Amino acid sequence: MAVLNVTDDSYYAASRCIDIDAAVERTHRMRQEGAAIIDVGGESTHPLKLTPTPEATEMARVIPVIRRLANELDCPVSVDTIKPSVATAALWTGATLINDVSGFRDAEMRALAAAADCRVCVMHMPWAPYASHQAAKYPHGVVEAVIRFLSQQIDLLLAAGVREDNIIIDPGIGGGQFGKTIAHNLEILQNLHRIKGLGYPVLLGVSRKTFIREILDCSIEESLTGTLALNCLAADQGIDILRVHDVKEHMDVIRMVAALHHHEVDTPMPV
């Protein structure tokens, strides 16, 4: 899954792409490099971001781009949003997956996903969006908290009418709103088999995140090697979707892991 940030404040400045033509051009390049899904986001989850992006602003950013991509691409387009109104417009425009980092807490978002019969990615976030930027407390351990939350949200999605085979899960790696310390993130990465044990396709998003830079004492521009190391291990453990900024480099990693396991790169999961 390739990240397309149509924002002016995403944490990785090189990924920002506000101009529609430039965004479409970048997407075509990422598709040629091997991206199987394009994830379009109009609201940053920058660790220091304290207020939500206005609905009209987010809509104006993502909808024209999704419209173009749906008409020009031969792969699925995902919308990265926590707002039902934005998700509705995106689905009407051609998106086929809702990537909701708030974990589908909003009943309206669950009902929308069920009615649209679209794919959904439910991510662990320990609280409602913008409620806190501090690391959360996990009395029973972060992995147990992630599993409990994802199980609870899966039950709510199923009760709303979302089909089981439309659900993807994400353990929510990251600090800031995602509420995890370096130790929390590493513990999750050491226990991906437990997340996979829930029985749903797993999406992992570690690309160039702060904890990598803190461990390696490097800039965001220098964080690709740390990202590749973690995603190599994730691919080796059978993680289904890697959400990344750098497609070509990750396709090389995936091909090498596939070679070690003596099989071809899997056909992308239909969305």
Q: Which residues are catalytic?
A: 209, 243
Distances (CA, A) of 26 to 35, 54, 84, 199, 258: 11, 25, 27, 34, 26
- Judged on CB neighbours under 10 Å (0-12, 13-18, 19+), 56 is exposed
CA distance 31 to 25: 10
Are the beta carbons of 100 and 79 closer than 8 angstroms?
Answer: no
Are the beta carbons of 244 and 213 closer than 8 angstroms?
Answer: no
Are the beta carbons of 81 and 98 closer than 8 angstroms?
Answer: yes
| DSSP class per residue in 204-225 | E--TT-HHHHHHHT--GGG-HH
Are the beta carbons of 247 and 30 closer than 8 angstroms?
Answer: yes
Residue 133's φ and ψ, nearest 5 degrees, are -120, 15
CA distance 20 to 233: 35
3-state secondary structure of 1: coil
Residue 12's φ and ψ, nearest 5 degrees, are -105, 100
Distances (CA, A) of 19 to 12, 202, 258: 17, 31, 36
